[in-house]
Structure formats: structure tokens, C-alpha cells
Amino acid sequence: MSTSLVGLLISVVLAALLVGPLAKSLHKHPGTFYAVAIILTGLYAWAILTGQNLAGIRGVCMVLQKAYLSSILFGVVMFTGCFDEGTRVRKHLQPIRGELSILSFIFVLGHLCMYLPSYLARFVAIMSARANIAASLVIALVLTVIFAVLAVTSVRELHRRMNSRVWKAVQSLAYLMVALFVLHVGMALGFSAFSGRMVASTWSFIAYVAVVVVYAIMRVGKAVRDARGSRHDVGVVAS
């Protein structure tokens, strides 16, 4: 079994625990989970930046290196909005969307620590030699800024103090993040994903795009249902 697949499976299990049996604890004691996430990400970042040998636990490291766990948690946050109010899924996940968003941002920092230092050190050379990697790096920086804003405004205390319209406007940046994420993945995988051969990077790109397409379809469906419900409510009031 490849190390990437091991990392993906571990990420799925961890995400399932967070949205399943640990959901209530996450909502009641988010600080504990944030602290654990920061410690784990910090240890990984320290190991990477100091050149520690992580070959023995490479599969585990893929959880942070490839941003698998971060991507899955952010996906849960986004897909939750596709379900109607009152549904069992929405009722279960809605209370922890903010916490999952913050955890997702903390975990993605491990991914940034893995790639940004080397890319930034060779930024000029990359800009002139590999346009796809340069574009991916620029998009990654933009994504990081947007992600940080979304994570900060997801903090419960700050959310309560913000104007609801302003908060919703800020959170709508998540849709831009989804689009930029697809571009980032496509550019990062580079020419290998589009070389005409079905290699691992090709399947990875197809999987990411498939998830985004499913999300777009579900989100549009939710918008249509909301619009119909609004028209129905207006009709009832008029009657």
C-alpha cells in the first residue's frame, strides 16, 4: 500500500472521529482540540524544517504533507451547507462547522511548511522556469490569506461580535476558495496530470474535480430549493 493511500485512509478515519463520536466534545471544548492540532502540526513543522528523518512514519506524515485531513474537514464544512435546514445531517454538523474550519486551517499549515520554504527560496528560478508551479505558489499564498480570514472569523467569540451581514459576506469567500483550490491542485500536479497517461497525479486531479463538481450540483440544488421555498412563503403571506 502506498504511503499516500495510508495517509488518506488515516485522514478519513480522523475526520470520521471528529464529525462522529467526538463531535459533541469538539463543540463543548474546542480549545482542547485546537491545542492538540497545533502541537501535532508544530511537531511536524519542526521535523520538516530541521531535516529530521521521517521515513519510518511517512504514511502518517502524509496526513499533513498532502493536506488530506485539512481538505476533508474543509469539504465537510462546505458540504454541510448543501443540506436543508432541519435534516439530520445539517443538525448534526452545523454546530461544529466553525470548529472544523479552524482545525482545517491549523492542519493545512503543515502542508505549507513542507512546500513553501523550498518554493520561496527558489521563487525567481521557479517563476522563470516552471510557470505552472509559479502559478500554484501564487494561488497557494492567496488561499492561505483567505483561509486565515475564514478561520479567524469562525472563532465563536468573534463570530458573535460581528455584524451578521458582514460575517456572511466574509464567509462567502469560501466559494472563491473552492475555485482557487481546484486551480491550485491542477497547477501543482503540473504537466504530469495532463501528460496523456493515467498516472497517480491524473487520478488525484480527477478525484478533486469530481468532488467539486458534486458539491456545485448539490449547492445549486439547495439554492433552487431555497428560492422555491421563499416564493411559497411569499404566496402564503399574500393569500
Asked whether 64 and 111 are in contact (CB, 8 A), the reply is yes
Residue type at position 140: A
Residues sharing a CB contact under 8 Å with residue 120, sequence separation 6 or more, in sequence order: 137
- Residue 117 pLDDT: 76
- Scanning the structure block, which residue is given the C-alpha cell 455584524? 163
| Average pLDDT along the chain | 85
What pLDDT digit, counting tens, does each position of 40-63 carry?
999 999 999 888 888 888 889 999
pLDDT digits (tens, 9 = 90+) for 75-86: 999 999 999 988
Q: How much is the pLDDT for 12?
A: 95
Q: What percentage of residues in the chain have a pLDDT greater than 90?
A: 47
Mean pLDDT calculated for residue range 29-34: 96
Q: How far apart are CA 22 and CA 24, in angstroms?
A: 6
Query: Reduced to 3 states, what is the DSSP secondary structure of residue 137?
Result: helix
At residue 113's C-alpha, the angle toward residues 112 and 114, to 5°, is: 90
Q: What is the pLDDT of residues 115-174, one digit of tens each?
A: 877 777 666 666 665 667 777 788 888 999 999 999 998 888 888 888 888 988 998 999
Between 115 and 90, the more confident residue is 90
pLDDT score recorded for residue 233: 55
Q: What average pLDDT does the segment 33-40 reach? A: 96
Q: Where are the alpha helices (DSSP H) in 94-198?
A: 97-121, 123-129, 131-153, 156-161, 164-171, 173-189
- pLDDT at residue 214 above 90? yes
| Residue ranges of domains in the chain | 3-238
* pLDDT attached to residue 55: 85
Angle between helices 131-153 and 173-189 (to 10 degrees): 150
Provide the angle, in degrees to the nearest 10, between the axes of the packed helices 58-65 and 30-49. 110
The model's pLDDT over 192-213, given as tens digits with 9 standing for 90+, comes to: 556 555 566 677 788 888 999 9
